[in-house]
């Protein structure tokens, strides 16, 4: 069966036998046997380091990794083992490999890898010494500096088939260094996240067992509702949807997930919807041991779907031995609607909302409006409608009417359900967009009081503080949001600049590196995620890698030429690399397509734009 081609970003390895023709001339049969054995041994090492050996092309091997650190470790482990084996041979038929490692887009189909990334890896391999490893500068930037590798800067090289110069490094194991195994790399790749001082949990996306991919929105919606309910409990730390959903469709060890997210427990489960019947299975797992603490199955109908969700949530709370406050119990057990059609429409709207493109925001608006038509006293769709209108104004250039609609919808949600934290967060978001910062902060404060684990309230509160010119407060709220969603590249991409302005150099470098690492991981799972691509660009900018920053920004803009936020980010990036005219151009595009009043204050307080403040066109653009 022919495999459907898949385009993705990956770390590619190309290995070639040095002087293979000479070896074959000496003894054709023995040379072929030794070369095949060499590639077999290397493939085993590649697999043990989390890579995939895709194919052998004559005297060359091609492999794919998700992490450059794994690719380098596998390469150095093989080169050391192969050198030892060759020393034991009494003849001179001794295959020696040269290895090149690069990061780039490739197409994978029928176990074959093609694309510019693999071509670059091959070209780098040709620059390596026999028995050596060469890596591209972009891959070098993602390697944790604590790993026991030493590097030789070979400078910028003119690579055949590539217009721009490529920075190249030769890499070796430090004297006395021990090559880490893949699991060790996973832990070394990032700072170990400190466990919160209270029970901590991540709810992974529940599997859709309905046999119909179109029902994915329903299982995702159940998961998100459970996350929302748990986040209302002040004595539990709950990871936000943005991060827990990064594991959707992936097979990852529970211990690794807990280490990634800084939590002690994981909830996983499934949803089966058949006609009017619903079955939810769920289990709570201890991340330190991998053992199950609790598991159960819940059967019911669509009419009592909220009762099923409440049972799951309360069982989790009981298993964590947490005592609910009266107001928390009331908030969790409060059924938001008795109209199942309205709930179904709301879940469909929320699914589109998370994609955050202009087209999907309009689809989400339509579903939210239909949900409101089905139940005019259902508060959550009003929140969704308010957020859609806010984003369509600030990010996609829709006019003042969008803000008026957003305020009306958020206000109505609060009128229906005054204790709904997300309603206050939605009103805070739109008030911030209008420049009414003091009122916005009051709403964010209320949202956090009602929903202590609200990622959105903390994130937008931080952005509001930045627009007000309060970097210390902005950092505080963004740090809280980052703890709630540690796998989201968007926050480190923003906060690294704030750290820089505050003179927090170590935090600045850490956040910039995390923007690159998390962004690249996000792009592998979602190649079209332009927000993640922009985060990578800003990470590279703040690490001083202007070449890679420019490449990722161009990739970000390729299919998003009119996106207000992306063009604003492009203006900031081109300021940073000294391309003033391009910066002015993108700032103008940004303001043409984004109508939020917050823009002017944001620009006034954004140090990224300092290089163009005295440009004659800058003040004219701002005044217009």
Question: What's the rounded Cα separation, in Å, for the pair 337 and 415?
Answer: 15
3 state SS of 191: coil
Nearest to 112 by CA among 154, 52, 155: 52
pLDDT of residue 58: 66
Whether the predicted pLDDT of 183 surpasses 50: no
pLDDT score for 41? 87
Axis-axis angle for helices 490-502, 471-484 (nearest 10): 150
Report DSSP letters for 227-272, one per residue: HHHHHT-TTSEE--HHHHGGGTT----HHHHHHHHT-SEEEEEEEE
Residue with tokens 């300021």: 575
345 or 305, which is more confident?
345
Q: Residue 37 and residue 45: Cα distance in Å, rounded?
A: 13
Nearest to 339 by CA among 386, 302, 384: 302
pLDDT tier for residue 189 given thresholds of 50, 70 and 90: very low
Write down the pLDDT at residue 556: 83
Beta strands in 18-83 (DSSP E): 52-57, 60-65
Domains of the chain: 6-188 (3.30.70.1230), 190-335 (3.40.50.10610), 337-479 (1.25.40.10), 480-623 (1.25.40.10)
139 phi and psi, to 5 degrees?
-70, -40
Please give the structure tokens belonging to residue 148.
């026991």
Q: What is the mean pLDDT of residues 389-411?
A: 89
What six digits make up the tokens of 57? 């092309």
Give dist(CA 224, CA 240) in Å, integer.
9
Cβ(455)–Cβ(447) below 8 Å? no
- Tell me the per-residue pLDDT of 119-142, one tens digit each, with 9 for 90 and over: 899 999 999 999 999 999 888 877
Phi then psi for 151, rounded to 5 degrees? -125, 145
Span 139-148, average pLDDT:
78
pLDDT single digits (tens) 212-236? 888 889 999 999 999 998 988 888 9
DSSP state of 454: -
Q: Give this prediction's pTM.
A: 0.68
Indicate the angle between helix axes 28-48 and 68-87, nearest 10 degrees. Answer: 140
User: Is 60 exceeded by the pLDDT of residue 410?
Assistant: yes
Distance of alpha carbon 579 from alpha carbon 547, whole angstroms: 12
Cβ atoms 14, 64 nearer than 8 A: no
Q: Quote the CA–CA distance of 477 and 272 in Å, as a whole number.
A: 38
What whole-number distance in Å separates Cα of residue 269 and Cα of residue 296? 9
366 pLDDT band (50/70/90 cuts)? Answer: very high
What are the CA-CA distances from residue 451 to residues 8, 381, 455, 486 (Å)? Answer: 37, 18, 9, 19
Q: What is the mean pLDDT of residues 174-196?
A: 60
CA 196 to chain centre: 22
Residues pairing with 115 in the sheet: none
d(CA 275, CA 297): 18
The confidence score (pLDDT) of residue 195 equals 79
State phi, psi for 440 to the nearest 5 degrees. -60, -45
Say if residue 278's pLDDT is above 80. yes
Distance of CA 486 to the CA centre of its chain: 9
478: left (phi over 0), alpha (psi -120 to 50) or beta: alpha
Cα 22 to Cα 168: distance, rounded to the nearest angstrom:
28
Q: At what angle do helices 490-502 and 455-467 cross, to 10 degrees?
A: 40
Point out the least confidently predicted range of 189-198, 394-403, 404-413, 565-574. Answer: 189-198
Q: Is the pLDDT of residue 428 over 80?
A: yes
Longest dimension (CA), the chain: 86
Q: How far apart are CA 624 and CA 610, in angstroms?
A: 19
- Cβ contact 536:561 at 8 Å: no
Can you give the pLDDT at residue 37? 87
Reading the block at residue 503, the tokens are: 């003179």
| DSSP 8-state code for residue 355 | T
Looking at residues 44-52, what average pLDDT do you find?
83
pLDDT digits (tens, 9 = 90+) for 149-164: 999 999 999 888 888 8
Task: Of 530, 522, 383, 400, give the one whose Cα is nearest residue 456.
Answer: 383
Residue of higher predicted confidence among 198 and 1: 198
Q: Could you tell me what percentage of the chain is helix, strand and coil, using 3-state DSSP and rounding each to the nearest 5?
A: 55, 15, 25
Instruction: Give CA–CA dist 494/459, Å, rounded.
Output: 11
Q: Which two tokens stand for residue 621?
A: 């653009």
Residue 3's pLDDT is: 47
pLDDT, position 187: 43
pLDDT score for 2: 46
| Lowest mean per-residue pLDDT among 111-120, 127-136, 532-541, 543-552 | 111-120
| pLDDT for 401 beyond 50 | yes
Task: Record the tokens describing residue 577, joined without a space.
Answer: 């690399």
The torsion region of residue 155 among left (phi > 0), alpha (psi -120 to 50) and beta comes to: left
Cα–Cα distance measured from residue 434 to residue 468, given in angstroms and rounded to the nearest whole number: 12
| DSSP assignment of 374-406 | H-TT-HHHHHHHHHHHHHHHHTT---HHHHHHH
The yes-or-no verdict on residue 181 having pLDDT over 60 is no
* pLDDT tens-place string over residues 320-347: 888 877 887 887 777 888 999 999 999 9
Average pLDDT of the chain, as a whole number: 86
- Say how far apart CA 292 and CA 187 lie, in whole Å: 23
Dig out the tokens for 548 from the structure. 């890679």
pLDDT for the residue numbered 190: 47
């Amino acid at each position: 069966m022919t495999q459907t081609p898949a385009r993705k970003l990956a770390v590619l390895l190309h290995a070639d036998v040095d002087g293979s023709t000479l070896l074959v001339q000496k003894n054709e049969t023995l040379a072929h046997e030794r070369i095949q054995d060499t590639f077999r041994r290397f493939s085993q090492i590649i697999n043990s380091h989390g890579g995939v050996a895709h194919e052998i092309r004559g005297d060359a091997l091609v492999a794919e990794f998700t992490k450059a650190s794994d690719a380098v470790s596998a390469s150095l482990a093989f080169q050391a083992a192969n050198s030892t084996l060759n020393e034991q041979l009494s003849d001179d038929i001794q295959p020696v490999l040269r290895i090149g490692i690069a990061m780039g887009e490739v197409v994978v189909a029928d176990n074959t890898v093609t694309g510019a990334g693999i071509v670059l890896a091959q070209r780098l391999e040709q620059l390596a010494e026999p028995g050596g490893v060469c890596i591209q500068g972009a891959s070098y930037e993602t390697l944790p500096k604590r790993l026991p590798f030493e590097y030789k800067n070979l400078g910028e090289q003119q690579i055949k088939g590539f217009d721009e110069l490529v920075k190249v490094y030769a890499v070796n194991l430090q004297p006395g260094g021990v090559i880490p195994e893949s699991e060790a790399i996973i832990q070394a790749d990032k700072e170990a996240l400190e466990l919160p001082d209270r029970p901590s949990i991540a709810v992974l996306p529940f599997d859709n067992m309905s046999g119909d991919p179109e029902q994915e929105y329903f299982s995702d919606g159940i998961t998100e509702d459970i996350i929302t309910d748990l986040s209302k409990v002040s004595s539990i730390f709950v990871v936000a949807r943005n991060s827990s959903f990064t594991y959707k469709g992936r097979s990852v060890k529970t211990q690794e997930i807990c280490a990634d997210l800084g939590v002690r427990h994981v909830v996983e489960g499934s949803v089966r919807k058949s006609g009017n019947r619903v079955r939810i299975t769920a289990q709570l797992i201890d991340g330190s041991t991998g053992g199950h603490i609790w598991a159960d199955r819940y059967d019911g109908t669509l009419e009592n779907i909220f009762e099923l969700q409440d049972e799951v949530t309360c069982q989790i709370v009981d298993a964590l031995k947490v005592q609910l406050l009266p107001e928390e119990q009331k908030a969790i057990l409060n059924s938001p609607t008795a109209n199942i059609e309205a709930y179904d429409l709301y879940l469909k709207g929320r699914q589109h909302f998370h994609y955050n493109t202009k087209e999907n925001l309009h689809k989400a608006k339509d579903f939210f409006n239909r949900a409101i038509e089905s139940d005019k006293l259902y508060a959550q769709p009003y929140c969704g409608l308010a957020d859609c209108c806010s984003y369509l104004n600030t990010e996609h250039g829709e006019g003042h009417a969008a803000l008026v609609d957003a305020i009306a919808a958020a206000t109505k949600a609060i009128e229906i359900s005054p204790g709904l934290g997300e309603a206050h967060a939605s009103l805070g978001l739109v008030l911030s967009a209008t420049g009414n910062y003091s009122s916005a902060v009051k709403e964010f404060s209320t949202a956090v009081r009602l929903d202590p684990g609200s990622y959105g309230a903390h994130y937008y509160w931080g952005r509001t503080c930045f627009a007000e010119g309060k970097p210390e407060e902005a950092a505080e709220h963004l740090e809280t949001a980052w703890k709630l969603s540690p796998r989201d590249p968007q926050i480190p991409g923003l906060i690294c600049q704030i750290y820089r302005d505050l003179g927090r150099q170590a935090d600045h470098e850490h956040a910039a590196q995390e923007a690159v690492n998390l962004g690249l991981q996000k792009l592998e799972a979602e190649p079209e995620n332009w927000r993640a691509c922009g985060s990578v660009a800003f990470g590279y900018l703040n690490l001083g890698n202007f070449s890679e920053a420019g490449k990722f920004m161009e990739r970000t803009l390729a299919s998003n030429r009119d996106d207000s936020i992306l063009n604003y980010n492009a203006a900031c990036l081109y300021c940073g690399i000294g391309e003033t005219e391009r910066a002015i151009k993108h700032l103008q595009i940004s303001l043409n397509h984004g109508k939020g009043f917050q823009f002017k204050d944001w620009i006034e307080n954004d140090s990224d734009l300092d290089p163009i403040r005295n440009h004659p066109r800058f003040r004219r653009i701002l005044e217009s």
